[in-house]
Structure 1
Amino acid sequence: MKAHIIVNEESIEYIYENKVIHLDQYELIWDCTCYSGRSEACPIHTHQYGEEIEMQVNSSMVNIKLYDIVDIYWMRDDLWPPSIVTIHIINTIDKDIKNIKFKKSTLLDAGAGTGVIGIYIAKKYNNKIKYVTFMDAYILPLIYTAVNINRNKLKMTPKYELSYGIQDTKEIPKAATNVIYDLIVSNPPYLPHNKDSDDDIVLETIYCSGLLKSIIERGWKIGNTIYFVGSEIIDREINKEIEKLHQSTKKRGIKIEVNIIRKKIIPLRIPEILSQDEYIEYIKPKIIEVKKRIDNAKHRYYQEKYIYKISVKRKPI
């Protein structure tokens, strides 16, 4: 038996066999506060089924359903799960889809992971999307993506391509239709480099902003509308890249608009981060620390996440 996580707009459920934890509100996909805040307020572990469901989530394949649209598999030890930011970015695209011009029906999911964002868009808007490229630097996430594509019955409609070993947009091939992507989405690693970490995989999946920077710097060359996720923690670096982007495209007669179209304060709950006191001190100026008990603040640290939109107009200014 698999554990299930069912995510709806206003509620979330954790299920194993006939045991169910239902939350009417949630801040995270795994809404535990034990390692990052007030354990006495943890909505999972204060529940009678909390420990048993957590054991299943930590040790076996998990079935995650989003909004009755996407149904994916994920396993804890293999790769990062869909996050609360995943929910925010698909909600943002849902609201903004009417403003996206689909000329060739193409989509790139850069840093695909489980494939959940690209699959969601391709499945919900299959009248607009006919070709999808899922890109990731590692093979295991793309194995999950392939499984999840099949599970969601995308098959070849829309057509899809898996691009393995691609670290950034400089290496991304154009879509098979040999046109620029109508839409690029990316929820990349974003935290500043931690020189004290000696784990290469952790460096690439947490303390790495390479894909984020390349999306800003070169995404316009291969996409007309680009959504990417950033954070207050790295806003200085993002703003520098955006300034370079404007300078570079202006010389070429390309008009670029960059806007933050959504801001959201979310808990900072990454065990690899919270266990490093020096690193927390390093990023403290950019995060929100809850020093006193506040009823609606279950976690100690919060961060402000941004969803950016880059719109590219290729006619001369």
Structure 2
Amino acid sequence: METKGKNRKVAGRGMTVTLEMKKRIRSLRHSANLNIDSLADKSEVSERTLKKIESPKSRQKRFDEDVLMKIAKALNISFDELSGKQRQYKQEDNSVHFEFLAEQFREIDRMLLPLIRDHRHAGQRLIEHAYRGLLSQCLQEREIDLEQINQGLRDPVKRNAFIEGLPRPGLTVDVSEDFDEISYKYPPNEMLTVKSPQLLWDCHCDTPSTKQNDFECPIHSQSSGEEVDRRFSNGYVLIRYRDIEFYWRSSQELWPPSVDSFYMMEAMKTDGLFTKKYDSVLDIGSGTGFLGIMTACCNPYITEITLSDWLLTPYLYGTTNWFLNRKSREHIRLKTNTALFTKGLDSLAKPYDIAICNPPYLPLLDGFDEIGLESTVAGTDLLTDIILRNKDLADRIYLQFSSLSEPEAQIAQEKAGLKLRPVGEEKLVPFRMRILWEKADYLEMLIKERGLVEKNNSRHRFWHRLQTYVIE
């Protein structure tokens, strides 16, 4: 019988559940696509007890070890993993654990984000120094060495164990080559298909306009829409395009391959990128690694790929996605670079043959500083940095950016003394960013000053133009 307050008795062997352990259990539950109710059924632990175990505000700190063992068994992990006794990202055999690294990197990234998203009130050099210091400190405190991780993944046995140990995706998203159909599949044999999609996640339900409500959502109008939404938003997802697979999970730190990426691939293909003899490719702001990995897989001459990003979550997913797709491409060398903007690429013996970037494009307008702190797609610093440093980075650079950031791109072109050449068609695509729906003044400014298009007679209210360019 349970009693309230500090004298609560716990049957059997009691164990203190720390705040870190609570976070771990919640993260593992989400990874397994389980809600509290389903985990209760699977573990035979009451919902009430599970809520107390996960809640950081619960007054009960100690729980029966037998209960925790049931939870570990339901999550298909050992008790030591659940309790955090296996704290190392490596075991004695030097194997690397994805789930542990994902949790640690997410924590570090959330400390880095507010530091560097808007640095207009501090010099760039000061921000870069602070970034390097904080990143190094966070890694040292957690005893994580990125080079040791990279070295471990070079071993075929350890690399295969790493890939085989990935959490099973709860949803597979198949994107057709021409981006004219998307199928969302989940166990056992369920499938939801969207014809002629306008976005990878083509839902307009949260658009702030009553007129958009008159249109039927191609996802939520279907019987399995809510379940697909839950899996897409909360669990691990496998996105497949042209037989290449990309592992992803929704988070503030990592966006999935978007409609921008698919259109950029189309433009680069039109420009002949996949048939010309290029040896090396650099993906700047790589995220999931989609653009760099697709280029390495589609161009048979590539022998070296470098994925560069300033957060650790993209480093982890980009590396994972490369090894998921390496297969018959073992002759291609993978390099990674974790640094702000294009730093860390300064010591290149020679420029890359190709550099690719689909940079953030939300302009940081006066009076709207908070935008830079709330979104990883805010700020045009990477865009301008690449234009200004183009000769140091690659012989040929492909850039795609929005009409919203054209003024910044134009200024950078003038400073660099060059002219960007458009390739492929300009695309008018939906502009769907939930964090901006409550910022009517900012949206109004984008409409008046940056060419954001407002349509009241379509499913998506706001639209912007995307264009791929080349610097040669």
Report if TM-score (shorter chain) is over 0.5: yes
Q: Which residue among 182, 203, 208 is the counterpart of 1:12? A: 182
Pick closer, same or farther for the CA change 1:210–1:106 going to 2, 3 Å: same
Q: Does 1:305 align with 2:305?
A: no
Partner Cα distance (1:42, 1:67) in 2: 26
Q: Write the deviation string for residues 144-198 of structure 1: whole angstroms up to 9, x where unpaired.
A: 011111111267531011101x2222542455xx321111100111111155454
SS at match of 2:420: strand
1:301 shift after superposition: 0.6
Counterpart position of 2:139: none
Q: Which residue among 421, 429, 435 is the counterpart of 1:272? A: 435
Partner Cα distance (2:347, 2:468) in 1: 24
In structure 1, give the amino acid aligned to 2:356. Answer: V
Q: Which residue among 312, 315, 325 is the counterpart of 1:142? A: 315
1:137 shift after superposition: 0.5
1:282 shift after superposition: 1.4
The answer (yes or no) to whether the contact 2:380–2:408 under 8 Å persists in 1 is no
Q: What is the 5 A alignment of 1:115-134?
A: 115-125=289-299, 127-134=300-307
Counterpart position of 1:282: 445
Q: Write the deviation string for residues 20-64 of structure 1: whole angstroms up to 9, x where unpaired.
A: 111221110011111236243210011111111101111100010
Q: Does 1:169 align with 2:342?
A: yes
Counterpart position of 1:179: 350
SS at match of 1:213: helix
Counterpart position of 2:281: 107
1:202 shift after superposition: 3.0
In structure 2, give the amino acid aligned to 1:151. Answer: L
Partner Cα distance (1:148, 1:98) in 2: 21
TM-score, scaled to structure 1? 0.86
Q: Write the deviation string for residues 225-260 of structure 1: whole angstroms up to 9, x where unpaired.
A: 1111111111111111111111xxxxxxxxx55212
Partner Cα distance (2:292, 2:332) in 1: 11
The answer (yes or no) to whether the contact 1:100–1:225 under 8 Å persists in 2 is no
Pick closer, same or farther for the CA change 1:209–1:21 going to 2, 3 Å: same
User: What is the alpha-carbon root mean square deviation over aligned residues?
Assistant: 2.1
Partner Cα distance (1:268, 1:131) in 2: 34
Pick closer, same or farther for the CA change 1:98–1:114 going to 2, 3 Å: closer
Aligned residues: 291
Q: Which residue among 371, 374, 380 is the counterpart of 1:202? A: 374
Partner Cα distance (1:231, 1:21) in 2: 30
The answer (yes or no) to whether the contact 1:169–1:219 under 8 Å persists in 2 is no
Partner Cα distance (1:243, 1:138) in 2: 30
Q: Which residue among 260, 263, 267 is the counterpart of 2:422? A: 260
Pick closer, same or farther for the CA change 1:243–1:200 going to 2, 3 Å: closer
Partner Cα distance (2:381, 2:389) in 1: 12
In structure 1, give the amino acid aligned to 2:374. Answer: V
My pick for the range that moved more, 34-43 or 257-266, is 34-43
Counterpart position of 2:397: 226
SS at match of 2:239: strand
SS at match of 1:284: helix
The answer (yes or no) to whether the contact 1:170–1:214 under 8 Å persists in 2 is no
Pick closer, same or farther for the CA change 1:63–1:98 going to 2, 3 Å: closer
SS at match of 1:41: coil
Partner Cα distance (1:216, 1:274) in 2: 31
Partner Cα distance (2:471, 2:311) in 1: 26
The answer (yes or no) to whether the contact 1:233–1:287 under 8 Å persists in 2 is yes
In structure 1, give the amino acid aligned to 2:461. Answer: R
Partner Cα distance (2:413, 2:216) in 1: 40
Pick closer, same or farther for the CA change 1:199–1:259 going to 2, 3 Å: closer
1:75 shift after superposition: 0.4
Q: Which residue among 268, 283, 288 is the counterpart of 1:93? A: 268
Higher strand proportion (structure 1 or 2): 1
**After TM superposition, what 4+ stretches of structure 1 lie above 6 angstroms from structure 2?**
none
1:212 shift after superposition: 0.6
Pick the structure with greater CA Rg: 2
Pick closer, same or farther for the CA change 1:147–1:270 going to 2, 3 Å: same
> What are structure 2's unaligned runs of at least 5 residues?
1-168
Counterpart position of 2:170: 2
Query: Which structure ranks higher in relative contact order (CA pairs < 8 Å, sequence separation ≥ 6)?
Result: 1
1:92 shift after superposition: 1.2
1:76 shift after superposition: 0.5
SS at match of 1:30: coil
SS at match of 1:160: strand
SS at match of 2:254: coil
Pick closer, same or farther for the CA change 1:100–1:283 going to 2, 3 Å: farther
TM-score, scaled to structure 2? 0.58
The answer (yes or no) to whether the contact 1:288–1:303 under 8 Å persists in 2 is yes
Counterpart position of 1:160: 334
Counterpart position of 1:250: none
1:199 shift after superposition: 7.4
My pick for the range that moved more, 237-246 or 191-200, is 191-200
Q: Which residue among 208, 218, 240 is the counterpart of 1:43? A: 218
> What are structure 1's unaligned runs of at least 5 residues?
247-255, 312-317
